[in-house]
Structure 1
């Protein structure tokens, strides 16, 4: 079984008796305890964060889809898990995936389930009650799995993380990609569907690249050639460029290219000047992985949200009682030069600024220092 994380079976079900919050992040999302990484969605005025979560320990394992909601992406309310292992098609874990809004304003979640043979298979879930603005309960239909690797001639131990689906009007179908590998070649397998139930593997991948290894958490989305407004995932045509992002399991970093998506040919081709390997562009050169973008129709922006897993050892995570945080959410758009993306923290973060402290006209001798009082270093910016 090929997994994304080192498995510590002796630690993954040890819940802390207390949680060490001495170094807890102040601005970054995390639940009160245990291991996480997340997947966002905006629906009818509410931001949802569905996050991979170990309810029993602070290392990777026992994965469910935990769920928190917010009106502003700053203040969050924790709800019960939305999806958890309960059926043969996900009995050994409900791994990462994405959310899509179907016609009629109906959300659907696609996620990777682990079956009794430890295969990675793709399932869907629907809200049990669309009148509930928090979408607290989800139903898994009996026709799961909707994508079975045995029907697709792909590696069932490296076949995960379906993207948000997009609709192409010219052929009236939905498309999505799933990350996998073929030897050392990273592959984004393309699937198509008319009804979001029966999915067919395309003859060729949407994109692939040699020497990159397993592609996790792929993301495909459009950006406008001009301006900083975001675009819905299905937008194609003139005035648009596409971003293709993957998380490389071998390096634990993320890379993206800019290019053109050809819906009729079912192909994505990077620009000639967009390096298509592990030497290419990255969202972030720090600890940043398994990111997911989504379109926010309320403010017409594309928001990128990534995950940072600390460099602590597994035993240190167990002792402090938590592991992993969501990085600062960022609005993302195309740079005016057309060759890279621009990112900026979402505007809502400005509401956290208060009690400004400033120091002016202070000479600091070489090697010297001074203290700025009445401020916490963990909450300071410059």
Structure 2
């Protein structure tokens, strides 16, 4: 084992004990140090494996390693030793995002972006980003002697040789392999390029799978492509997006492109696109096909513009979303928490057909590790309904619904944040058969909201002390409310 990798493994073992109690209970968090994008989300030897962008030595971004954990049920995660470290000439600046697949011989292959810095003739430095592989047994991985296996020299004229990263590999039914990689064309926007291989080692360029044309931000990071419910689905994470109504916020966002895919000729024709998550803290999603043929997605539950707000003085930063099961219905990506979370539900509390106006609380409806289902039927005169979560005398986070505008807003400006940053986000949510249906997963310092049976999702971190457990409801006019609340207990 090389010195750089061994150092990371020793460090995480020696430092993880002191921070265990700070972490969420039902979301995979960084073992120590910094976590961002999910990588290598895969099934290997009948277990789920999750790797992640990782800087073990501080709670801030640094030279990228791959952290590693595994799970039998997508909820309980067991940490494994650091899988990759920046220890080769071609990845000396970091082992950036990538994916994983199982080979015919039973080995586990990781595909990642290696980054190194080179000095230009004018004295400036630039990145060289290439795609590399490492093969192993689920714990230890050896980088391939042919690395890098995909280089920017394989791209057509006009494609950026600097922004070329985040390979997502998958296996076709005929046993061959495809991978998509994020790239920038000559117009400076974003695109996703496609490569093919017969053995996952020797690769050739195929085509541009999808092109941005400056319609949705700039560079398209972390692409993921799969077929689901007879549709082709491309997940992307565009950078530097200008807000587009309530569909896409500004900055770095996530988007889902849905269309037809010609499997024989590897041609994708986009029909529609929409946001994946309408909250503030969801990025770089990656999916896996389970052995039961479910498509499961997980994202990094953070925001590049506000990630420093929660880590002053802490030894760790970063967590993943609850894994979400996906479907495509009427050209829309539907997402709901995986059914496995229901195995951790305890202490059911239920209220049915409660009609009220003004403020309302319910006995035993409180907590910071809960699964809460709410169905609201507003009266014809109702303008506003809201839920306050993680509430005490000072702090709360609100979910507000403007009935007339069909506008759902998550608002954390009173959650304990002491910085002038964006703290609320909204989405257009029409009533469904006269009802608003919400499912809220709270896990210490995060709230994930699933709306109208998974039609939309909104994810947000909060900054509130864990002693703030109150939950209250408000309506300006009469409404009828049904709710079911469970504690989430390990």
> Structure 1 373/88 Cα, relative in aligned 2: closer, same or farther at 3 Å?
same
Match of 1:349 in 2: 341
Is 1:260 aligned with 2:254?
no
Following TM superposition, by how much is the alpha carbon of 1:323 offset from its aligned partner in structure 2, in angstroms?
2.2
State the shift of 1:361 in Å.
7.4
Taking the aligned partners of 1:19 and 1:318, their CA distance within structure 2 comes to 14
Matched, 1:141 2:144: yes
| Closer, same or farther: CA 79–356 of 1 in aligned 2, 3 Å | same
Cα shift readout 1:82-112 (whole Å, capped 9, x = no counterpart):
1111111111100100112223443211100
**Aligned residue number for residue 67 of structure 1:** 68
Q: CA deviation at 1:252?
A: 1.3
Matches within 5 A, 1:20-99: 24-37=23-36, 38-39=38-39, 40-99=41-100
Tell me the distance in 2 between the aligned counterparts of 1:151 and 1:209: 20
Query: Following superposition of structure 1 onto structure 2, how do residues 209-248 of structure 1 map, counting pairs within 5 Å?
Result: 209-211=212-214, 212=216, 213-224=218-229, 240-248=230-238
Query: Once the 2 structures are TM-superposed, how far is the Cα of residue 343 of structure 1 from its aligned partner?
Result: 1.6
For the residues of structure 1 that align with 2:147 and 2:20, how far apart are their CA atoms? Answer: 40
**Structure 2 Cα separation of the partners of residues 192 and 201 of structure 1:** 7
Decide which of 188, 199, 210 is 1:207's aligned counterpart: 210
Please state whether the residue corresponding to 1:26 is helix, strand or coil: coil
Cα distance, 1:246–1:180 mapped onto 2, change above 3 Å = same
CA deviation after TM superposition for structure 1 residue 122, in Å: 0.6
Tell me, yes or no, if the aligned pair for 1:146 and 1:199 is still in contact at 8 Å: yes
Equivalent-residue separation in structure 2 for 1:50 and 1:305 (angstroms): 12
**Residue 16 of structure 1: how far off its partner (Å):** 11
**Helix, strand or coil at the partner of 2:313:** helix
Higher RCO, Cα 8 Å, sep 6+ = 1
- Residue 194 of structure 1 pairs with residue 198 of structure 2: yes
3-state SS, counterpart of residue 87 of structure 2? coil
Counterpart of 1:178 in structure 2 is 181
SS in 2 for 1:348: helix
2:167 is matched with: 162
Q: Partner of 2:131 in structure 1?
A: 122
1:277-356 pair list within 5 angstroms: 280-286=273-279, 287-297=281-291, 299-309=292-302, 312=306, 314=308, 316-335=310-329, 337=330, 339-356=331-348
Instruction: Report the 3-state secondary structure (helix = DSSP H, G, I; strand = E; otherwise coil) of the residue aligned with 1:285.
Output: coil
Partners of 1:87 and 1:332 in 2: CA distance: 37
Shift of 1:254: 1.0
Q: Partner of 1:6 in structure 2?
A: none
Could you tell me which runs of 5 or more consecutive residues in structure 1 were left unpaired when the two chains were aligned. Answer: 1-14, 130-134, 225-239, 275-279
Range moving further from structure 2, 25-34 or 350-359: 25-34
Shift of 1:21: 6.0
Q: Tell me how far apart the structure 1 counterparts of residues 173 and 213 of structure 2 sit (CA, whole Å).
A: 28
Aligned twin of 2:363: 372
2: CA distance, partners of 1:357 / 1:146: 55
| Whole-angstrom distance in 2 between the partners of 1:215 and 1:33 | 28
Tell whether the 8 Å contact from 2:129 to 2:165 is kept in structure 1 after alignment.
Answer: yes
Deviations 1:212-270 (A, max 9, x none): 3101011110112xxxxxxxxxxxxxxx2211121102231111121122244332111
How far apart are 1:32 and its partner, in Å?
A: 4.4
Superposed displacement of residue 348, structure 1: 0.7
Counterparts in 2 of 1:358 and 1:165: CA distance versus 1, 3 Å: closer
Q: Distance in 2 between matches of 1:206 and 1:363?
A: 52
Answer yes or no: is the 8 Å Cα contact 1:180–1:187 preserved in 2. Answer: yes
Contact (CA 8 Å) 1:295, 1:302: kept in 2 or not?
A: yes
